[in-house]
Structures are given as structure tokens and as C-alpha cells.
Structure 1
Amino acid sequence: MGRNKRQDYDHTDESEVFKKKSLMAAKNRKRMSKIVFAVMCLLAAFVVAACMLSYFFNFV
């Protein structure tokens, strides 16, 4: 039965399980915030470049 489980928590108490899950959730939030920040910076750079092209070369 335990073969398909990723980690067996039988030898730990509930506080250890909660602490580990909380730390992993915080780590995942930090990773996701870095990804979202990078995507937003790229999007902002694209918008600024599009505005500059439109202003200087009258494309639109």
C-alpha cells in the first residue's frame, strides 16, 4: 500500500506534517511570485517598446 505513496508520514506526528506542508507551500509561493514578476517585467518591456515604436515611427 505504501509503495505508491510519495512519502509515508506514519512515523511523524501531525505537527511535523503541518510544518513540512506549510514550508513547502511558502516555498512554492515564493517560486511562483518570482515567475510572475519575471513575466510582468517582460510584458512591461514589450509594452514600452511598442509605445516607443508607435511614437517614433507612427505605425498605428
Structure 2
Amino acid sequence: MNRNSKNRYDQTDESEVFKHKSFMAAKNRKRFAKIMKVVLYALAIFIIAACIFAYFFDK
């Protein structure tokens, strides 16, 4: 299959379509997991920084 060509599902059988969609779904889940990991780490760092700030600069 050419890299620059569009997927033509009318020329493939249903198993190829299912395999492609399953592969893309797994790829999207992995991408979403990476994004969520970064967001949760950033949120945790923000919360820890806010707690340290409140503890030391409360007075």
C-alpha cells in the first residue's frame, strides 16, 4: 500500500477494515494515555507547589 494514498475501504475485505480500525483505536488509546499522564503529573506538581507555598508563606 502506498504511503501517500488514501485508504479505500471499498476495495478491501471486512477483516482488513476491522484490523485497521482496531489498530487505530489502540494507537489513539496509547496517545490519550500519554497525554493524561503528562496532565496528571503537571496537576500533581501544581498541587504540591501550592501546598509548599501555603505552608511556608502562610504568615
State TM-score, norm by structure 2.
Answer: 0.84
Q: Give every structure 1 segment of 4 or more consecutive aligned residues whose post-TM-superposition deviation is greater than 6 Å.
A: none
Q: Which runs of 5+ in 2 are unaligned?
A: 1-5
Identity %: 59
Aligned-residue Cα RMSD (Å) equals 1.3
State TM-score, norm by structure 1.
Answer: 0.83
Q: Which runs of 5+ in 1 are unaligned?
A: 1-5
Q: Alignment length, in residue pairs?
A: 54
Relative contact order, CA 8 A, sep 6+: which one is greater? Answer: 2
Give the aligned partner of residue 10 of structure 1.
10
Task: Name the structure where helix makes up a greater proportion of residues.
Answer: 2
